[in-house]
């Protein structure tokens, strides 16, 4: 597996800073709502206040910069209601950013701009992340529980408010990018019990997603060194031309079962941040467990392309998700 710091995180980290860092706010008509009624569980110190920063010329997607949020200690969700028709489905979006920042527009608000016209309620989760600094950085579960706690809490909250928001409680899914794609897999396999003590009625609702979409996910496979550290874990080996020198070993912290929700996977083979083996290893585990899974691999696309249109065919992926949601009965075909 590649190092856990993602390319999008690196470019955010080197983006030029203004004298006073702005705080991200959603577009007019939308309000961030705290997901915890009080203090969030397992708080960690951060290097500074929450801040939003925009990349410069060093990182552009389809000719446009991206906005990253760092040092999130107060997680929120922002609900984007469907425009016109309502399919009853809802998608909770997990932006990526290496568990150190959140690519809030490229892998967040722009996703909602795609989903809501299709009759899908979009819930953008600003989950807890900590940037590099004098304090321990956040990371994937179980290295750090914060992001998964926030994801579990949010799925329960959306299900608790399903009637109020005109959502079918059996059609609540998750969609994430990069590290957010790992968070999709984490909550898809860690829903039997909360990582935190229940705080209210929302925590009595199931936090199992009904479907899952992971776009260029990371942290799903093991490198050779990581495999040596996890002796006894079942090993999956697949011959793949681009990765012939690597074993496809599933991350042992992902306990895939038949209860893991139907999953859609997509990645580019030239992704040099999260290796394509991450999607392949998870795909094999899902197939072996009898979980419905659809996977698409593209020769080109790299990493952190989001939904922005380019000349590459990978940028047509949202249409594939639209079709897949119809085939699994989440939206009308």
- Tell me if 275 is assigned to some domain: yes
Q: 1 in a domain, yes or no? A: no
The sign of the dihedral angle between the CA atoms of 195, 200, 202, 206 is: positive
CATH of the domain at 271: 3.40.50.1820
Specify the pLDDT at position 109.
98
Looking at residue 1, its pLDDT comes to 38
Residue 72 lies in a domain: yes
* Whether 218 contacts 178, CB under 8 Å: yes
Structure confidence by residue, pLDDT tens digits, 146-200: 999 999 999 999 999 999 999 999 999 999 999 999 999 999 999 999 999 999 9
Q: Between vectors from CA 208 to CA 72 and to CA 199, what angle results, nearest 5°?
A: 55
39 part of a folded domain: yes
In a domain, 135, yes or no: yes
Does a structural domain hold residue 107?
yes
Q: Using 50, 70 and 90 to split pLDDT, how confident is the model at 35? A: very high
Say yes or no to pLDDT of 7 above 70. Answer: no
Instruction: Give the pTM.
Output: 0.89
- Alpha carbon distance 42, 55 (integer Å): 30
Residue 332 lies in a domain: no
CB 127 within 8 A of CB 151: yes
Closest by alpha carbon to 101, among 3, 208, 178, 195?
178
Number of structural domains (the chain) is: 1
Residue-range definition of the domain harbouring residue 117: 7-327
Q: Please compute the mean of the pLDDT values over residues 245-260 and round it to a whole number.
A: 86
Q: Cα–Cα distances in Å, from 302 out to 56, 219, 314?
A: 19, 17, 10
Q: Has residue 2 been placed in a domain?
A: no
């Amino acid at each position: 597996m590649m190092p856990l710091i993602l390319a999008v995180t690196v470019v955010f980290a080197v983006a030029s800073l203004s004298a006073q860092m702005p705080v991200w706010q959603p577009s007019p008509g939308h309000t961030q709502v705290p997901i915890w009624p009080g203090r969030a569980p397992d708080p960690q110190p951060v290097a500074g206040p929450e801040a939003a920063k925009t990349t410069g010329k060093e990182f552009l997607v389809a000719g446009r910069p991206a906005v990253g949020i760092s040092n999130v200690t107060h997680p929120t969700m922002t609900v984007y209601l469907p425009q016109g028709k309502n399919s009853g489905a809802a998608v909770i979006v997990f932006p990526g950013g290496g568990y150190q920042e959140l690519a809030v527009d490229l892998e967040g608000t722009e996703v909602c701009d795609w989903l809501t016209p299709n009759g899908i309620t979009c819930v953008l989760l600003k989950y807890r992340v900590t940037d590099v600094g004098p304090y321990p950085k956040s990371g994937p579960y179980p290295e750090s529980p914060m992001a998964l706690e926030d994801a579990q809490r949010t799925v329960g909250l959306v299900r608790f408010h399903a009637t109020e928001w005109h959502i079918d409680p059996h059609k609540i899914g998750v969609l994430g990018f990069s590290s957010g794609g790992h968070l999709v897999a984490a909550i898809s396999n860690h829903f039997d019990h909360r990582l935190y003590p229940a705080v209210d009625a929302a925590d009595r609702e199931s936090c199992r997603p009904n479907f899952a979409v992971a776009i260029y996910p990371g942290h799903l496979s093991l490198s050779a060194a990581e495999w040596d550290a996890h002796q006894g874990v079942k090993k999956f080996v697949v011959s793949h031309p681009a990765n012939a020198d690597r074993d496809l070993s599933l991350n042992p912290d992902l306990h895939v079962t038949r209860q893991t929700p139907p999953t859609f996977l997509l990645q580019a083979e030239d992704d040099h941040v999260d290796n394509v083996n991450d999607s392949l290893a998870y795909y094999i585990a899902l197939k072996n467990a009898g979980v419905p899974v659809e996977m698409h691999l593209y020769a080109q696309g790299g990493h952190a392309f989001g939904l922005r249109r380019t000349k590459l065919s990978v940028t047509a992926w949202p249409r594939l998700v639209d079709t897949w949601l119809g085939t699994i009965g989440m939206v009308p075909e």
